[in-house]
Amino acid sequence: MTTNHPADPSAILQTAFAFWHSKVLLTAVELGVFTKLGDRHVTGVQLGAELGLHPRGIADFFDALVAMKFLFRDGDGPTSTYFNTPEGALFLDEASPRYIGGILVMLNSRLFKFWNDLPEALRTGKPQNEIKHGQKGMFEELYSDLPRLEQFIGAMTGLSRINFEALAEKFDFSNYQSLCDVGGASGLLCIEVAKKHSHLQCTSFDLPAVQPIARKHIAASGLSGRIDTAGGDFFNDPLPNADVMTMGMILHDWNLDKKMHLIRAAYDALPSGGALIAIEALIDDARRENVHGLLMSLNMLIEFGDAFDYSGADFRKWCEEVGFQRFDVIPLAGPSSAAVAYK
């Protein structure tokens, strides 16, 4: 392919050095920079002291965050003050109900180091997480420790909320009376949909260990009268019957055999005309555009080995094999979409 434009290495270098940017932001969240600032304007020396930082890195660290547009700074020099951007205050301050920093903390504490072994994952097809080092797998470890499980669910909540809100807004629930969210975790999808559609009765289905966490969040939302919890193992127990079956970032955790098991289980639990909705960073059918979806699939390789993300065309093919009749893809927030199959 020829072009009239001279070759430019900028994109190569920007991506090659991107981990520098990522590590600064992830470190800032883990240290609690945005939470510590809150609604204050604070000098670098004061903020660094509050965070227990060595003087050498204070100016470079906070000014890098300013240059990256994650902090604002009023003035120049040692007397200048730092303060949160609107996005930092809304999404990265732990006091905000829209906080998404939990997933960033997990990225920093777990995935950053595991991604260093991507070459080995590509050569072997095997997980590069705790299992590689003789420890329990992620889910096995989480479900044996309730506080850690709740922390993980909290981390995923911020990431999921914007997609679940978009689903509640964009999908037509008017012809349905009931919904079951499979792998419902904190009950967030049910909460967001129930808030928007007062006629729906919802059920959050997950392992029994998760039910107390879901009940707490559902009660806090004031929706206990319209959202139930159900406990079970979606590989060994039938799913609760409902008009709509949702799976928010569930299918990508598994290999094809287990994906098909879940799709069949949903089909069996749905009435004629019912809908299965899978929410994922759905890869575009040509596999050329959704970079995040493709990288998420590589993350599934690192986490689980044989798990993978998929396209709308993949989802349609699998659902057709089971018996679903009609299909749709609904763009949600950012790189995520809802793949819908109608029975």
Which residues are catalytic, by number?
A: 252
Beta carbons of 141 and 131 less than 8 angstroms apart? no
Tell me how far apart the alpha carbons of residues 292 and 333 are, in angstroms, rounded to a whole number. 12
Measured between alpha carbons, how far is residue 282 from residues 6, 50, 290, 329 in Å?
34, 42, 8, 9
Q: Which helix (H) or strand (E) holds 277?
A: strand 275-280
The region that residue 272 occupies, defined by phi over 0 for left and psi between -120 and 50 for alpha, beta otherwise, is beta
State the Cα angle at 47 between 46 and 52, rounded to 5°.
100
* Beta pairing, strands 275-280 & 244-248: parallel
Q: Pick the closest to residue 234 from 203, 273, 212 (CA basis).
A: 203
> Whole-angstrom Cα distance, residue 173 to residue 196?
10
Tokens of 122: 């590509």
- The Cα–Cα gap between 160 and 106 comes to 14
User: What DSSP letter does each residue of 282-311 carry, written as one string?
Assistant: PBPTTSSS-HHHHHHHHHHHHHHSS----B
The helix (H) or strand (E) run that includes residue 82 is strand 81-84
Give the total residue count for the chain. Answer: 343
Please report, for residues 69, 143, 198, the alpha-carbon distance to residue 78 in angstroms, rounded to integers and kept in the order given.
19, 48, 54
